[in-house]
Amino acid sequence: MRPRIVTTWPIRKYADGAATLREDDIASEYPLTLEVDGEEFATIVCSPTDLEELAIGFLASEGVILEAADVKELRIDEARGYAYASLYRPQSAGKDDYAKRFIGSCCGKSRQFYFRSDARTARTSMTRMTLTPGQCTALMRLLQLESADFRLTGGVHNAALCTATALLAARTDIGRHNALDKLFGYALQARMPVADKVIAFSGRISSEVVLKAAKIGVGFLLSKSAPTDLALKLADDLGITCAGFIRGQDMNVYTHGHRIVDESTPDA
């Protein structure tokens, strides 16, 4: 039977000093083991939805594939918790190479990556797209409307791939990185150009989240939450406009603020 993203658990609920027995909504946690060409590659702890997109996006994020067409076959065995991928071309590096820390530099700036795969796959955005503050806050409101599972459980992250005015796809997962990989897989399978797209995100903007956005190829990362300093250094270096604390009509723009234009200025 297909696992659900939300399940229930019997609890004793205390309120105003009184206890009642009830069922509570809980986020499901599901381990998915990914095999590539017959060899175990990684186990991803995730929410049990959009698993094909997750596998495709994860492989692209790790630099194993460049596009969805590089995958010859992908089979998901949900009952066993396995994804079996076979590729048209052998992996360019051994599995262990994906876990090696790498520090590089580019254009005179110190660009720090966690892994060699980050250096291979993170792209600098050269987008000429602009957004108004109103468009940023409207996209965050649209993301919140798509967040029913968060309202039920409080235990998942939400991410959406957007145009300037609409959500194209929204994905949910217990792991913030998994939600972004699902979007990556969606864009790759749809062969969607992403340079003029935006990511709206529910969680903290960490350096890993910025790297995921750079690997997807977008130029905007919007969140209702806070960034870290390394995330902002990477966003500045990678050409990503990063805005956080988007709540109501308020927000903080941290990097490449020239792409946020006045309401009276038309979109580029």
- Please say if 107 is a catalytic residue: yes
Category of 114 on φ-ψ map: left (φ > 0), alpha (ψ -120 to 50) or beta: alpha
Q: What are phi and psi of 110, to 5 degrees?
A: -80, 110
For the chain, the distance separating the N- and C-terminal CA atoms, rounded to the nearest angstrom, is: 48
Out of 46, 106, 107, 136, pick the active-site residue. 107
Q: Which tokens go with 34? A: 């990914």
- Residue 167: exposed, middle, or buried by beta-carbon count in 10 A (0-12, 13-18, 19+)? middle
Residue 77: strand pairing partners: 82
Q: Which amino acid is at 7?
A: T
- State the DSSP string of 78-116: TTTTEEEEEESS--SS-GGGGG--EEEEETTEEEEESSH
Locate tokens 């509570």: which residue? 24
Q: Give the residue numbers marked as catalytic.
A: 107
